[in-house]
Chain A
C-alpha cells in the first residue's frame, strides 16, 4: 500500500475542515472497499480520514418523525438484525444480510455501500423502492438527497467534495406492504451479484421495482396498474409490462460476472418472482 497520512478527527467540524484542506482525501468508515482500492492503487489519497472517532457518530437505528433513521455509521450486521428493518423494510434486511461475508458485514456501513456507488450494490435497490433519503453534511451545511438522485454512475454520487453522509432515512409505511430482495450470483455464499433486485408491493397493488448490476447505476421503476403484483394476470400482460419496466437495463458487455443476455434473462425471472413473493407477503399481513 502506498503511504498516506492517517487522520482521526473527533468531531464532524474537524472532519469537514480536514476534508476541505486536502484536495486528495479519502473518507474511511468500514474500509471494506476503500482498503482494497488503497492497496491496488486505484485510489491514491494524501490523507485518509477515519470517521469512527467522531463524537457525533451514529451507528444505531432510530424512529423519528415517521421515519426510520439509519445512522451513517451503522454496519450491515446490525441493519440486517434490526427488528424494525426486518418488519417494515424486509427487502433492506434481506439485502444487508447478503452483502459480502460475516466479516465484511461486521465492518461495512450502509452509508459506505451507497457512497461507493457500485452498480451491483445490494442495498441500493431496496433503498430505491422504499424512497430513502440521504442526509449529508458539508462545510455549507446539511442537505437531504433523495436516493434516486444520489446515484449518478459507477463510483459517482451526488455528494459534493468534502461532504459526509451522516444518516439514511426511510419513511415508515403508511399501510401494509410486502417487500423482498432477490439476486443472482455465480455461486452460493459470498459473491457479487450478477443481478440484484428489490420489489415492494402496497396493499392496493401498486408496485415499486428496483434493479442493479444491469447498467451503470441501479434503477427504480413503478407499476400503478397492479399487473406486476397480480399473479393471476395473463402471462402476456405481465410480459408486456416487464418490457416497459425493464427497458432501461443495459448490462455491460465487459463484465466478467455474466453476459448481458444472461443478466437480462435473469432480470425478467427475478422481477416476476420478486413481485409474486412481495404480493404474497402483503397478502399475508407483513408490514414490509
Chain B
C-alpha cells in the first residue's frame, strides 16, 4: 500500500523524475519533494485556488490532482514565471498595482491570470473576474489584482508573453534561472 510510483514530468521547463506515494497530491510533490513552496496549501477542497498550477496548459487545483496523475505531464508553477531572473510582465504589473498584500494567494492568482491571458490576450473586466473566480484573496485585494491583469494585458510586452502557450514559455526558460534549480534532482 505504501509502495511508491515512479513518475516523470517536466516542471518549469526542467525534466524531473520522482517517486511518489499513491495518495500524495501534485501539491505535496511540488512542495515536499521538489521544494517548490511558492504553490500554497490552503483549503484542500478546491475552493480557494491558492494551490493553482498550470498542468498541460490548463490551470488546476494541485490539491485535487494526485501526483501520479501528473506522470508524463508539464507543470508550470509560480517559480517558472520569471525568465532569466526577470519578472514576467504580469508579475511586474502585480507589483506596480500593489496587488499583493499578505501575498499568500498571489502565486495562484498569477497562474490563473497567466492562463487567462494565454487564451484571451485582451480580456475585459468580466472575463478577468470569471478567470480568477477560483482564486480567493482574504485580504480582499481584488480591485488591485484585476487592475494588474488588465494592465498586463495592455502592455505590448505583456501581449508577447501572454500569447505564448505556457509549454512554449517553459521550454524557452533557462532552468538554471529558476529557484528550483537549487534543489537537487530527485
The residues of A with any CB-CB pair to B shorter than 8 Å are 1-6, 8, 28, 31-32, 35-36, 38-39, 48, 50, 52, 77, 100-104, 106-107, 189-190
Contacts and interface: CB of A to CB of B under 8 A. Distances in A.
B90 interface: no
B8 to A, nearest CB: 14
| Residue among B46, B60, B63 having the largest count of chain A Cβ atoms under 10 Å | B46
A100 B48 CA distance: 11
Contact of B68 (A50, A77, A101): A50
A103 B25 contact: no
Contact of A28 (B21, B24, B66, B112): B66
Contacts of A28: 66, 69
A190 B64 contact: no
Interface string B145-167: 00000000000000000000000
Interface stretch (B11-19, B79-87, B126-134): B126-134
Given A8-B68, A32-B46, A103-B46, A189 B21 contact: no
A50 B23 CA distance: 12
Interface of B: 1-2, 5, 21-25, 44-47, 49, 52, 58-61, 63-66, 68-69, 71, 112, 115-116, 129-131, 133-135
A8 B72 CA distance: 13
A93 B49 CA distance: 23
Contacts of A104: 46, 61, 64, 134
A6 B44 contact: no
**Which 9 A/B pairs are nearest by Cβ-Cβ distance?**
A101-B134, A6-B22, A106-B58, A189-B133, A1-B23, A3-B1, A103-B134, A103-B61, A35-B64
A188 B56 CA distance: 28
A9 B167 CA distance: 27
Given A28-B66, A102-B130, A4 B22 contact: yes
Contacts of A100: 46, 134
30 contacts: A1-B25, A3-B1, A3-B21, A5-B22, A6-B22, A6-B66, A6-B68, A8-B68, A35-B65, A36-B64, A38-B23, A39-B44, A48-B66, A52-B69, A101-B46, A101-B134, A102-B112, A102-B115, A102-B134, A103-B49, A103-B60, A103-B61, A103-B112, A104-B46, A104-B61, A106-B59, A106-B60, A107-B61, A107-B64, A190-B134
Nearest to B52: A103
Nearest to A40: B45
Q: Which of B23, B68, B131 has the most CB of A within 10 A?
A: B23
Contact of A102 (B5, B22, B131): B131
Contacts of A8: 68, 71
Nearest to A38: B23
Contacts of B47: 190
A4 B22 CA distance: 6
A102 B21 contact: no
Given A4-B22, A4-B23, A48-B22, A102 B133 contact: yes
A28 B22 CA distance: 13
Contact of A3 (B23, B25, B68): B23
Nearest to A77: B58
Contacts of B25: 1, 35
A105 B61 CA distance: 10
